[in-house]
Structure formats: C-alpha cells, structure tokens
C-alpha cells in the first residue's frame, strides 16, 4: 500500500476477528495500511495469529454482549493504537433450532450479541467520529436478515434489525461525516457455516448459488475496504449484497 494512502494511519476495530469472516476482514485492512484491533472473545491464539498478519495489528478481548467489556476494549485500543476511525461489527452467534423450541433466553442472547452488540460499540465511536468529522461503520448482517429464517428465526430477525439500525445511524449521522453501511453475505466458507454445509439442505443451497461456489472471507474484507474508503464517502445507509446471486435466485 502506498504510504500516501489515506488508510495509512487510520485505526480499525473488527469484532469477532479471531476466525472466519472477521479474520478475513482484519487481514485485508491490515495489508491496506490500517492499524487493526483484532477483537476476540475467547480465541486469543487465533487473534494473535491474525494480528501478526497485519502491518500494525493487536488483539483486544471484547465480549459485545457485555457493556463493561466493550468499554474496556475501546479504552485499550485508544491507548495502544488511537481513536477508532473504522468500526466493523462482525461478532455474532448462530443457532439452529426450530422456532417453537426456542426459549426466551435464547432469543435474548441472540439479540444481545447480534444486534445490541453493535449498538454497544457504535455508541462508543460515534461522539469521537462526529467531533473529527470522519468515521466509517460497517455492520456485517446476513442474507438471512433479508429473506428470513427456517431453523434460525431468531438469528434472521436479529440480522434484519441490524439492517434497520444501519439505515437509522446513516440518517442521523451521515451529515457529520460518518457513513454507516451493511454487508449481507450469503454462504461463506467459514468454520461457523461448516455444520450447515455438511447437511443435505446445506449442500442443496450451495448447488443453487448462481456463481456456483461459496464466498470467501477475503471477498467480504475487500467490500469493507471499499466502504471504508474516501471514495465511498457518498455511500451510506446501504446494504451491499455479497451472496453470489442467492438473493435474486
């Protein structure tokens, strides 16, 4: 990356970045010149490995379901790297279970991580971004939040709410120089999607993808890099569909 690139010197925090999509995003940003805080909840080894692949990377423990943990993580990033210019809300959980078997506690846990986790991080970065007149927020949603769920209704509902949160933040703060966009991946080759893809239904989903393959974490990372760029300053409140054509199919 050219040393004159605007990305050089900017700081990114990627939650849930010790593996899968988050790791791919962190690595792409790291090679683009960002200082990258690699968020993890438990997998310190994975976070250390990802951070080592970044030009300026550091692991930071953060449980987005715990407000105190989020506060502590931002304090660490601020002290070690600086103020966050790019927030990527990627941390999430999934659970396969029939709708009528889901408990209130399971619904609450899903929303606490997959929706409120982003609320907790966004409210930490917004004041500073608005004060500086620049900020980028990218929320990682899912195609499930667009077309609904079958065995993951609570997951789909939380991801749909995340798309609405994205548009709302964009309406409120784009005038302050802070863009907020979402990416809705389809099926991506990660550990998290592995269980589903081993089932007959999962294999059938792959067969119906128009481009004929799974997506990669690096492709998601490239989309984040674009949305975070100065060239994307007029893109806000949008959902970028990275699904190989699954949605229209």
**Token digits of residue 134:** 């620049």
Is 34 a catalytic site residue?
no
Instruction: Give yes or no for a contact between 237 and 167, defined as CB atoms under 8 angstroms apart.
Output: yes
Instruction: Give yes or no for a contact between 159 and 145, defined as CB atoms under 8 angstroms apart.
Output: yes
| DSSP, residue by residue, 17-83 | -SSHHHHHHHHHHHHTT-EEEEEESS-HHHHHHHHHTSTEEEEEE--TT-HHHHHHHHHHHHHHT-S
Instruction: Give yes or no for a contact between 165 and 139, defined as CB atoms under 8 angstroms apart.
Output: yes
Residue 15 to residue 35: CA distance in whole angstroms: 14
Instruction: Give yes or no for a contact between 181 and 240, defined as CB atoms under 8 angstroms apart.
Output: yes
Q: Which residues are known to be catalytic?
A: 155
């Amino acid at each position: 990356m050219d040393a004159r690139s605007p990305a050089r010197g900017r700081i990114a925090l990627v939650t849930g970045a010790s593996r899968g999509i988050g790791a791919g995003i962190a690595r792409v940003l790291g090679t683009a010149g960002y200082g990258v805080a690699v968020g993890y909840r438990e997998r310190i080894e994975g976070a250390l490995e990802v951070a080592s692949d970044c030009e300026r990377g550091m692991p930071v423990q953060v449980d987005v379901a715990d407000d105190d943990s989020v506060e502590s993580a931002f304090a660490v990033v601020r002290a070690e790297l600086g103020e966050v210019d790019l927030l990527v809300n990627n941390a999430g959980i999934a659970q396969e279970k029939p709708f009528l078997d889901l408990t209130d506690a399971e619904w609450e846990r899903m929303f606490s991580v997959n929706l409120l986790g982003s609320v907790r991080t966004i409210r930490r970065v917004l004041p500073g971004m608005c004060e500086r007149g620049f900020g980028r927020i990218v929320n990682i949603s899912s195609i499930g939040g667009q077309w609904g769920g079958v065995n993951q209704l609570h997951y789909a509902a939380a991801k749909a709410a995340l798309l609405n949160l994205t548009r709302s933040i964009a309406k409120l703060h784009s005038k302050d120089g802070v863009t907020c966009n979402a990416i809705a991946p389809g099926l991506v080759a990660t550990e998290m999607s592995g269980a589903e893809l081993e089932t007959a239904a999962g294999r059938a989903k792959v067969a119906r993808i128009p481009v004929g393959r799974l997506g990669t974490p690096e492709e998601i990372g490239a989309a984040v890099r674009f949305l975070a760029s100065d060239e994307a300053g007029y893109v806000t409140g949008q959902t970028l569909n990275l699904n190989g054509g699954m949605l229209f199919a």
